[in-house]
Amino acid sequence: MIAITGATGQLGHYVIESLMKTVPASQIVAIVRNPAKAQALTAQGITVRQADYGDEAALTSALQGVEKTTADLFQRSGSTCPAAS
């Protein structure tokens, strides 16, 4: 399975849209902070799991069974990654 973090954001939307051209929805896991915003993904057959980078246990659980992932680590107002600042 392939996990996409930030799946309800702009970048996540484009990544999922592109992936669905070659990967079945059943193989995509959308990692989101707010599952209520991911109803359209669920309707497409994508598994939605709730997690946040600040919650290690939730993130570990959400990534169970995942073989590959993409990560959107940057905020509009600044980076959460000091190396990217």
pTM value is: 0.80
List the chain domain ranges.
2-84
Q: What is the pLDDT of residue 16?
A: 94
- Tell me, what's the pLDDT at 53? 84
List, for residues 36-65, the tens digit of each pLDDT value.
Answer: 999 999 999 999 999 988 888 999 999 999
What's the pLDDT at 74?
56
What size, in residues, is the chain?
85
Task: Give the 3-state secondary structure of residue 17.
Answer: helix
CATH class of the domain comprising 2-84? alpha beta
Q: Which amino acid is residue 77, in one-letter code? A: S
What's the farthest any 2 CA atoms get from each other in the chain? Answer: 37
Residue 75 pLDDT class (50, 70, 90 cuts) = low
